[in-house]
Amino acid sequence: MATVNKNLSVYDKATIPNAKDFRFGIVVSEWNDTITEGLYQGAIETLLDCGAKEENVIRWNVPGSFELTYGAKKMINTQKVDAVIAIGSVIKGETMHFEFVCEATAQGIMDLNVGTDTPVIFCVLTDNTMDQAIARSGGEHGNKGTEAAIAAIKMVHLGR
C-alpha cells in the first residue's frame, strides 16, 4: 500500500505497549533539516504520548543520512538504549548521488539490525521532491516520525 493510501500518523494507543521503562536513541540528519526536525517532532511526541519519559530519550545529530549508520552504531555501543530511530530526508537532485545515499543508508541500518541486538528504525524519507517530503513529515500524509516511534516501541516490546 502506498503512503498516499495510509496516513503515517494514525495509531491506536490501546494496541501499543507502554514505553515507560524503555530508553530510546534518536539520531537526526542535519541535511534538509526543516524536514528532519518535523520527523523528530513526530517521533518524540509519539514516544511521550505512549508513556516514554523525556529523560529516557537521547538525541544526537549527524551531518547527513549517510552518517546515520555510524551515529546509530555509536549510540548502541556507548549508550544504554533499547532502540534507535534513525531520522533522515534524502531528496533527489540532478545526479546519481541520491541513489547511492539511499542505498547505503538503508543497507547500513539493516546491517545494524542484523548485527546487533538493538532495533534500529528506518525513519529516512527518500523523496523525488521537497513537496513529497513535506507531505510525509507532518503534512497531508501524516508524519513518518510518528510511524517510526510506534515501530520502535513495538520492536522493544518484541519477545519481552
Ligand X SMILES: CC(=O)[C@@H](O)COP(=O)(O)O
Ligand Y SMILES: Nc1c(NC[C@H](O)[C@H](O)[C@H](O)CO)[nH]c(=O)[nH]c1=O
Choice from 2, 77, 95, 160 touching ligand X (CB under 6 A): 95
29 touches, from ligand X, ligand Y, none (C-beta below 5 to 8 Å by class): ligand Y
- CB-nearer residue toward ligand Y: 108 or 142: 108
CA 157 to chain centroid: 17
Which positions make up the binding site for 5-amino-6-(D-ribitylamino)uracil? Answer: 31, 65-67, 89-91, 122
**Catalytic-residue membership of 97:** yes
Site string for ligand Y, 93-132 (x = CB under 6 A): --------x-------------------------------
Please report whether residue 151 would count as binding ligand Y according to CB under 6 A. Answer: no
Q: What is the 3-state secondary structure (H, E, C) of the chain?
A: CCHHHCCCCCCCHHHCCCCCCCCEEEEEECCCHHHHHHHHHHHHHHHHHCCCCHHHEEEEEECCHHHHHHHHHHHHHHCCCCEEEEEEEEECCCCCHHHHHHHHHHHHHHHHHHHCCCCEEEEEEEECCHHHHHHCEEECCEEHHHHHHHHHHHHHHCCC
Q: Which of 44, 75, 90, 123 binds ligand X (CB under 6 A)?
A: 90
In contact, 66 and 101? CB cutoff 8 Å: yes
Give the integer Cα–Cα distance in Å for 65 and 100. 11
State the virtual CA torsion across 141, 147, 149, 151 in degrees, nearest 10: -170
Name the catalytic one among 6, 13, 20, 97: 97
Residues in contact with ligand Y, total (CB under 6 A)?
13
Among 16, 58, 91, 130, binds ligand X (CB under 6 A): 91
Q: How far is the CB of 81 from ligand Y (least distance, A)?
A: 22
Determine if 65 is a binding residue for ligand Y (CB under 6 A).
yes
Residues designated catalytic: 97
- Which residues contribute to the site for ligand X (CB under 6 A)? 90-91, 93-95, 97-98, 101
